[in-house]
Structure 1
């Protein structure tokens, strides 16, 4: 079973949704036959690399609310994160453009390190408050994921994999993705958002059952039968 996950590294529900999917897979009996592929999505493709405002100010402006209301709004997200073992700190989060992070994730996929890098990028942003727009931070994270620092530096200093990122985003648009996380199972079943655990568990079972039905085995050979308007008489 193939599961494609569209997400962005600055999306708080993407990390929460990742944990929920992982939890569902832990108890899924066919988990060893599931391939999870992370696809690129940018919530704000026009975001600057370096924003001067803190996250609360950004949210207050975006949603037309006070600074205090923005702080309060994030408390619910922080609690949801805690429920899956994540300790979010919005006061440390740094708004930035995620194109470079997505570009090196495609490089990591070629090297078989995309799962490690995805986890470390999300952890760096939401838990450690690191700046995902700064190349030195990205290089350090990539090296921790097991990637060659010089190779990653070469990628960052070019525009390599930008087409791959944009292709993922275009595909998302074509299939109607308007928000992330967005999970596509076997190219035809979708889960939108960080749904409750039972939704992921139920979807895994349903999709597996529907796509892995055993073919009928003819154990009696060919006997007399009718087909269309004729019979074996």
Structure 2
């Protein structure tokens, strides 16, 4: 319902599959929808060693292309390992409660900014771009931010 019903979702998925193919991404949309909290924790932890972007890419690949459950610790360990992190350390981290409160606070702050899904970008702490957008949309937002900064 968030996207306007089943027919609209089908249209959006077909569009995303076409855009993905053009960019080397094989979107599937047959994966398990699950809680992403542990994924967020892993991403925060990976930031400490500058592996955040690679971990995000691997989690996206697991979910969007390989239909894997990204709430499953074993799948997250695989993503981390592919991103260059140690699997034993990753598993120990995910079994701990490390960064739980930090991630809860980050999620609350995101909700306060009106974020309710991904992707979502906040540019210049003021302008929000939600959903997959064309590059022209980002260029327009960047130009707006630059214009405001020059005033």
Common fold by TM > 0.5: yes
Q: CA RMSD in A?
A: 2.7
- Work out which of the residue numbers 202, 212, 222 in structure 1 matches 2:140: 202
Corresponding position of 1:176:
114
Q: How does 1:33-182 map to 2 (within 5 A)?
A: 72=10, 74-91=13-30, 93-182=31-120
Q: 4+ residue runs of structure 1 moved beyond 4 angstroms? A: 69-73
- Work out which of the residue numbers 114, 119, 129 in structure 2 matches 1:191: 129
Structure 1 unmatched runs, 5+: 1-58, 215-233
Query: Normalising by the residue count of structure 1, what TM-score does the alignment of the two structures yield?
Result: 0.55
Secondary structure class of the residue paired with 2:121 = strand
Deviation digits for residues 148-207 of structure 1, max 9, x if unmatched? Answer: 222211111112222122112111222222343221112122222222221112222332
Structure 2 unmatched runs, 5+: none
Query: Normalising by the residue count of structure 2, what TM-score does the alignment of the two structures yield?
Result: 0.81
In 2, the alpha carbon distance for the partners of 1:199 and 1:71 equals 21
Check 1:95–1:152 CA distance in 2 against 1; reply closer, same or farther (3 A cut). same
In 1, the alpha carbon distance for the partners of 2:8 and 2:130 equals 24
Instruction: Count residues in correspondence.
Output: 148
Structure showing the higher strand proportion among its residues: 1
Which is greater in Rg? 1
Q: Which has the higher contact order (CA 8 A, sep 6+)?
A: 1
Structure showing the higher helix proportion among its residues: 2
